[in-house]
Amino acid sequence: MSDNNAYNPIFFDPSEVAAKKCATDPEFKVAYDALEDEFAALAALLDARAHAGLTQAEVASRMGVSQPVLARIESSLGKKDHSPSLNTLRRYANACGMKLVIQMVESNTKKAVKTDQKKGRLTFPT
């Protein structure tokens, strides 16, 4: 292989590209911000799998599904047409040796809303 044909990957940072586009295109920013929950959920799944040191095939096997099904579960979070059920997310977490925890935060402050386990009520930080 000559130097002209050497493999030379190009670094690409999608978050940097999105930040620049958000700064210049208000419509893009609205659409991008609307996907925040999906991006966060996808990141949580991928982080859990990476933390567990598992491949898609290994997580799929532990969940009792095929690797292509698991790939669709992971990729569905970036789309608005179908999201995995809570049961599927719970099984994914379990396959990664984790527990699914759902948390709500105030949208304007990003403060976590806690559940009082004894009373079964939400508590808001002050």
What's the token pair of residue 92?
A: 């994914």
Prediction pTM value: 0.66
CATH of 14-100, one of 1.10.260.40, 3.40.50.1100, 1.20.930.40, 1.10.10.10: 1.10.260.40
**pLDDT digit string (tens) for 65-85?**
999 999 999 888 766 667 889
For the chain, give every domain's residue range. Answer: 14-100
**pLDDT digit string (tens) for 87-119?**
999 999 999 999 998 888 777 655 555 665 555
Angle in degrees, 0-180, between the axes of helices 14-24 and 26-34, rounded to the nearest 10: 130
